[in-house]
Structure 1
Amino acid sequence: MRIGIDLGGTKIEIIALDEDGRTLARRRVATPRGDYAGTLAAVAGLVAAVEGELGRRGTVGVGTPGALSRRSGLIKNANSTCLIGQPLLTDLQGLLGRELRIANDANCFALSEAVDGAAAGADVVFGVILGTGVGGGIVVHGQVLDGANGIAGEWGHNPLPLPGGDDLPLPACYCGRSGCIETYLSGPGMAADHARWSGAALTPEAIVSAAAAGDAACEATLQRYEARLARALAGVINLLDPDVIVLGGGLSNLARLYVNVPQYWGAHVFSDQVDTRLVAAVHGDSSGVRGAAWLWPGKLGSRTQAG
C-alpha cells in the first residue's frame, strides 16, 4: 500500500493506493494556516486514521509547497510561509516512525499525470498548477526532473514575459521580487488584476461567471489572463519543448483556456508550428496526492523515481 499526502495551502489530503493505482481510502482536512505544529499533527492524524481504517501500514510520500534545501534540509520557497525554514522531512519521519519521500507539489502533480493521467505515454511533460499559487513540474521519460538546486520547474517565480502597459505596475510577490508569473496567473493574482482595472473585488469564480453572462470588465480580465498565460507557457515551450502541458489547480477548470491559449502562444514560440498539447488533468485535484503516493515505485510507478 502506498500513501500519498498533498500538503496544500487550504487543505491537506491523503490517499491510499493499491499496487494497481486503485484508491483504497481518501480523506481531507483543512490546513491549519500559519500553524506549523498543527500541520504536522494533522498529517500524522490522517496517516493514523487511514492505516487504522485499512488495518495495514503503507509507504508515505508527501507533496509540499516549496522544496527541500539541498544545503540545510529545510523547506524553502513555499507559499505556505509557515513551512519555510522548517525541518519538515525530519519532523514527519519522527512522528510517523518511518522513512518518507517528499517532493514539490507541482512535481507530484506532473508525475501523476505522466504515469496514468492526461499525459500518459508522453516523453516530456510539463505540469502546471494554477491555484492559490502557480507551480510547475517536469517529468522526462517517466522521471521527475528535480534539478541541481531542487527547483526544476519553478516557473511561477520567473518574471512574466514581455510586460506591457496592461501589466504595469509590476505586482509585488511574497518571494521579494516583483512581476512574478504567480502574481498574475494565480487565483489571487486574477482577482487583484480585476480589482486594479475595474475597482470591483470579485473572486475568480465570480469573474468567470460574470464574463459568461456578458460582463465586459470580467471578459477583459479573462482575456488579459489568457494572453499572459500564453506568453508564459511559450517561454516554457521554447526552453523545454514538451509534448504535453497539463493544467491543474482551480483555474484549470476554465474550459476556454484550452482553446484560447494555444491560439495566442504561437506568436511567441520559436517554431513554424506548435505541436505541444495543452490539456486538463485527468485526475483533477487528486493529481498531486496520487503523485505523492507514486514517489515510491510500484507496478505503475516502477518507471518513476523521485525523492
Structure 2
Amino acid sequence: MSLTVRSLQLWLPALAHFEPGHPLREWLARADRLAAGGKGYFGGLADHFSSVDAKLTAAAITRQFLAGDAADGLWLSADPAWIQPDMNGVRLLACGRMQLDRDAAQALAEALRPVFEEVGMQLEVSTPDHWHLRLPADISLPDFAAPAQALGEDLAQHLPQGPEGRRWRVLLNDIQVLLHQHPLNRQRQARGLSPVNSLWLWGGGRLPTGITTQFGGVISDDVLLRALASLAGITQQARSPETIATSKAGSLIDLQDLPARDIATHWWPCVQPLLEQQPVLLQFASGERWQRKPWHRWRVWRRVGR
C-alpha cells in the first residue's frame, strides 16, 4: 500500500474511455495529478489490499464470502463462460454475468458433475455466476489465467501448459462438448442470449491469511473485491445510489467495471455531490490518479483538456 487512505476514493474505468464531453472531464481538469497507481484489475486490487497479485487464490476467497466453507480446503473457480471460434483461434468473450438464474445454473452444472467426480472434484454452484471446484488436498495446480487477463484473447495463450496442464486441457474439452450439446444452450440462443459453452478455471489455492487494507469500507458489485473487504475485516456494501450518497472518507467506491456512459447518465448525480463536499481521490483502471478537493472548483482558469 503506497499511501494512507484519508480521502474517499473512486475506482474508475480506464481514462481513455471518458470522452471529452463526459462530465468527469471538467472536474478532472481542476484536480491535482498524483503519481500513477496500478494498472488493470489486479493492479488496482494490489493498490487497495496487501498480498494481492494475479496469482491471488480468488477461488477460496470468493467461496468463503459466498458460502462460508472454504477454510482448510483447496478450491478452484469454475465460472460459466462463453467462448467463440474465429479465424485466429478461440476467444473468451464473457465470464460470469451470463444472465443465468439459479435453476439454469444448476441444470448446466448437473450435466458436468459426473465429469468432475470421476477425477475426485466436486462442483459447487455458489451463485449463478460464480461456480467453484472443491479439489482433492493432494492435487497439483498449474498456473491459470484470471478472466481479466484473458477476455477477448485467444484461449491458446492462456490455457495451462505442459504435461501438468494437459489433464486440465482434456477436462476443459470434455466440459465444452457437454455444454455445447446441452438443450438449455439452444434455448438461450433462441432467446438471443450467449451460450454458456465453457467454464473458466482460475484462482486456485487455499484461503489466505494476512489480507489487510487501509480502507474503512468498500462499495462494489464485484464479488472478489467485496470478498477481500470481508476477509480484511472491513464493511462491504453492494453498489447503489444510496450507498454511494452516504459513503464516508476512507471508503472505496468501485465503478471500474461500468461503461463511462453509464457513469455519466446513471451514477454521476450521486457522485458529483461527493466531489463538491469532500476530498476525493480518483484512480483510473489505466493507472492515472488525481486528487479533487472542494476548493478546487475555484480554479476557473483551468480548462478541460489541460
TM-score (norm 2): 0.29
Higher relative contact order (CA 8 A, sep 6+): 2
Instruction: Return the index of the structure with the highest Cα Rg.
Output: 2
TM-score (norm 1): 0.28
